[in-house]
Amino acid sequence: MYPKASPTAVPPADRNLAQAVTTFVELRPRLFGIAYRILGSATEAEDVVQEAWLRWQRTDRSAVVSPAAFLSSTTTRLAINVAQSARVRRETYIGPWLPEPIDTSIDPVAGAERAEALELALLLVLQKLTPTERAAYVLREAFEYGYAEIAQMLRLTPVNARKIVSRARKHLTDDERDSVDVQEHRRLLDAFVAAAQEGDVASLEALLTPDAVSLSDGNGLRGAARVPVVGRARVANLSTAASRFWPTVAIAPVQANGRAGVLLYRDGRPATFMTIAATRRGIHRVLWVFTPAKIAAFLGTRAHCAPPARASRRRRAT
């Protein structure tokens, strides 16, 4: 296991290792942030960080000019390798695949100077890029590396690094570039959940864009839609169709990927994560995560997660 805290006292013979631990612990949030954005999986990102620690232990650290550059480069290349194999595995995934949400209530930018390339909807779009394109975009947009630094990490020329980032940007739609701010996102999410609980289709349609899409990640789990649901009316109807669902769940607000989300509990156990993506046009993505492993991974990134005292319920007007 890699260290998550610096040693408090070490024998003189171990001072070199102690310094290596201190350096790694300081850089760990950045390393995790790089790997997570490339992979869209907290579980896989932790594995990459673990491998980076092992390589940091084994390397001749006296020859390393910049530990930050060495560890960032190592983490990026490891993440690219994992991403290449993950793409093959996801070909057998049943239904839509969504990135694993992570708790960002403590570290709202997950190791970066700014909360770029962190929203779930954007991470999903980045998965359409090649692993190298994804890495270049993440390093530039989230971590503000220069093109010369990116080129060195990815073993490219600076000119090629610039072209790759430019190509990656072109994959983003106006919706991904023009997200609402955090406060408006929370307001829209709260309004959406309230309308869904009430079965208020008209209010839901007023919140949604005409081309809204609902995606459910369940990997074949019963109750999760196996295909994207497209269009304002269909998404609104789907969100209220499960009339027996909303009265039976307790709703806990959470912060995930720098934005508001809700964790839905059934029988006292976390069962579903849900969030939205929105622009000034309205809500254009509704994202549901049902897959138990991804719910568990989200809980694993949280400092504390207790179910709400009781369900927040609204009954339909009669």
| Three-state SS annotation for the chain | CCCCCCCCCCCHHHHHHHHHHHHHHHHHHHHHHHHHHHHCCHHHHHHHHHHHHHHHHHCCHHHCCCHHHHHHHHHHHHHHHHHHHHHHHHHHCCCCCCCCCCECCCCCCCCCCCCCCCCHHHHHHHCCCCHHHHHHHHHHHCCCCCHHHHHHHHCCCHHHHHHHHHHHHHCCCHHHHCECCHHHHHHHHHHHHHHHHHCCHHHHHHHEEEEEEEEEECCCCCCCCCCCEECHHHHHHHHHHCCCCHHHCEEEEEEECCEEEEEEEECCEEEEEEEEEEECCEEEEEEEECCHHHHHHHHHCCCCCCCCCCCCCCCCCC
State in words which class domain 182-300 has: alpha beta
Per-residue pLDDT of the chain (318 residues; tens, 9 = 90+): 677 666 555 554 467 888 999 999 999 999 999 999 999 999 999 999 999 999 999 999 989 999 999 999 999 999 999 999 877 677 889 999 999 999 998 887 788 777 788 999 999 999 999 999 999 999 999 999 999 999 999 999 999 999 999 999 988 876 677 889 999 999 999 999 999 999 999 999 999 999 999 999 999 988 789 999 999 999 999 888 766 778 889 999 999 999 999 999 999 999 999 999 999 999 999 999 999 999 999 998 875 444 444 445 444 433
Q: What integer pLDDT is reported at residue 35 of this predicted model?
A: 97
Tokens coding 74: 């190592």
Q: What integer pLDDT is reported at residue 176 of this predicted model?
A: 72
Calpha distance 32→224 (Å, rounded) = 30
Side by side, the strands of the sheet bearing 229-230 are: 229-230, 208-217, 282-289, 269-279, 259-266, 250-256
Tokens coding 229: 């649901």
* Residue 173: count of CB within 10 angstroms of its CB: 10
Calpha distance 250→130 (Å, rounded) = 39
Q: What integer pLDDT is reported at residue 178 of this predicted model?
A: 82
Q: Structural domain boundaries of the chain?
A: 12-100+114-174, 182-300
Q: What integer pLDDT is reported at residue 305 of this predicted model?
A: 42
Calpha distance 262→200 (Å, rounded) = 19
| CATH no., domain 12-100+114-174 | 1.20.140.160
